[in-house]
């Protein structure tokens, strides 16, 4: 991990600098239900330290901002929810989405759980006796029913319907522009994070600044995510260790 820490410290010495991270599966272990997931204590300490050192620490999640804030609760962090659709916790409900969610909810049965999130919704099938069958049923039900301007995406045992224009790549671009960042490290574990990895790589390739995309690979992490990353960590525990050592590295002076 030493080489990775050195690389990340070098990236974040380009100021203003930002650490941007996903939450579930990256800073918190994947849990049987979204409610059961919790920020790992070591990660909490690292985020606190980094938020006093860097110009930006941001969390970009599929959760709503309200949900994310309740889980993390740290001041001095920018919270972005719904994969980039929820910037201030004030995301409005969308009638077409609410109707579709209600229609789906009546047909899902107990094998899947629907979570309405304002302008989008998620259908979780973790815990279903036959996850492959549950997934197929959800996709069949939604086939041809996605409202215009929305997309269907999949994550770890979850199917989501959300606004098409919002994705984590767009969120990263907005953060870079808004905070005039010159150095960015992004951490994530799932398909929606691959958009952010590619945004970082494109920005770096254009000469926008120094960037590093780090995949936190768990047993369910798709290969596409790992392929889009610059570096790979193998667990949430490692991600927390990485962030703590990053905070320590950044607090040291480079000058003799
Ligand atoms: Mg995740």
DSSP 5-38: HHHHHHHHTSSSEEEEE--BTTTB---SSGGG--
Structure tokens at 62: 């599929």
User: Does the 2-85+166-251 domain belong in CATH 3.40.50.1000?
Assistant: yes
What is the 24 CA–ligand 1 centroid distance (Å)? Answer: 4
Which residue, among 198, 192, 202, has the nearest Cα to 168 in the 3D structure? 192
Calculate mean pLDDT across residues 207-217.
97
> Catalytic: which of 22, 86, 94, 193?
22
| 93 DSSP assignment | P
What is the 189 CA–ligand 1 centroid distance (Å)? Answer: 5
Strands 113-117 and 120-124: antiparallel
Query: Which bin fits 241, alpha (ψ -120 to 50), beta or left (φ > 0)?
Result: alpha
What is the 217 CA–ligand 1 centroid distance (Å)? Answer: 10
Q: Hunting for tokens 């049987």 — which residue is that?
A: 32
Calculate mean pLDDT across residues 24-30.
96
Give the residue extent of every domain in the chain: 2-85+166-251, 95-163
What is the 107 CA–ligand 1 centroid distance (Å)? Answer: 27
Task: Indicate the CATH number for domain 95-163.
Answer: 3.90.1070
d(CA 133, CA 138): 9
Which residue, among 173, 191, 210, 175, has the nearest Cα to 26 in the 3D structure? 191
What is the 255 CA–ligand 1 centroid distance (Å)? Answer: 37
Q: Each residue of 125-184: pLDDT tens digit? A: 998 999 999 999 999 999 999 998 899 999 999 999 998 888 999 999 989 998 999 999
**E strands of the chain, at which residues?**
17-21, 56-60, 78-80, 113-117, 120-124, 150-155, 158-163, 183-188, 210-216, 231-233
**pLDDT for the residue 132:** 95
Q: Each residue of 33-50: pLDDT tens digit? A: 889 999 999 999 999 999
Q: Hunting for tokens 């994530």 — which residue is that?
A: 188
Structure tokens at 130: 């036959």
What is the 190 CA–ligand 1 centroid distance (Å)? Answer: 5
d(CA 194, CA 229): 7
Active site residue 195: no
d(CA 203, CA 210): 8
**pLDDT for the residue 106:** 92
Exposure class string for 214-227: b at 16+ Cβ within 10 A, else e: bbbbbeebbeebee
Q: What pTM does this model have? A: 0.82
């Amino acid at each position: 991990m030493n080489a990775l820490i050195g690389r990340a410290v070098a990236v974040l010495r380009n100021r203003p600098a930002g650490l941007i991270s996903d939450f579930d599966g990256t800073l918190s272990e994947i849990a049987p239900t979204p409610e059961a997931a919790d920020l790992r204590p070591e990660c909490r300490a690292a985020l606190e330290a980094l938020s006093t050192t860097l110009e930006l620490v941001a969390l970009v999640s599929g959760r709503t901002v309200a949900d994310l804030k309740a889980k993390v609760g740290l001041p001095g962090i920018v919270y972005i929810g719904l994969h980039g659709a929820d910037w201030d916790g004030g995301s409005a409900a969308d009638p077409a989405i609410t109707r579709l969610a209600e229609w789906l909810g009546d047909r899902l049965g107990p094998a899947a759980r629907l979570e309405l999130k304002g302008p989008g919704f998620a259908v979780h099938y973790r815990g279903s006796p036959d996850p492959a069958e549950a997934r197929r049923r959800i996709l069949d039900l939604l086939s041809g029913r996605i409202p215009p301007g929305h997309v269907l995406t999949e994550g770890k045992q979850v199917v989501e319907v959300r606004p098409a224009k919002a994705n984590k790549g767009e969120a990263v671009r907005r953060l870079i522009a808004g905070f005039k960042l010159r150095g960015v490290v992004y951490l994530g574990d799932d398909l929606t994070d691959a958009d952010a990895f590619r945004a970082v790589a494109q920005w770096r390739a254009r000469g926008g600044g120094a960037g590093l995309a780090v995949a936190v690979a768990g047993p369910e992490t798709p290969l596409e995510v790992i392929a889009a990353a610059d570096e790979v960590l193998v667990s949430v525990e490692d991600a927390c260790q990485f962030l703590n050592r990053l905070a320590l590295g950044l607090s040291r002076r480079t000058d003799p």
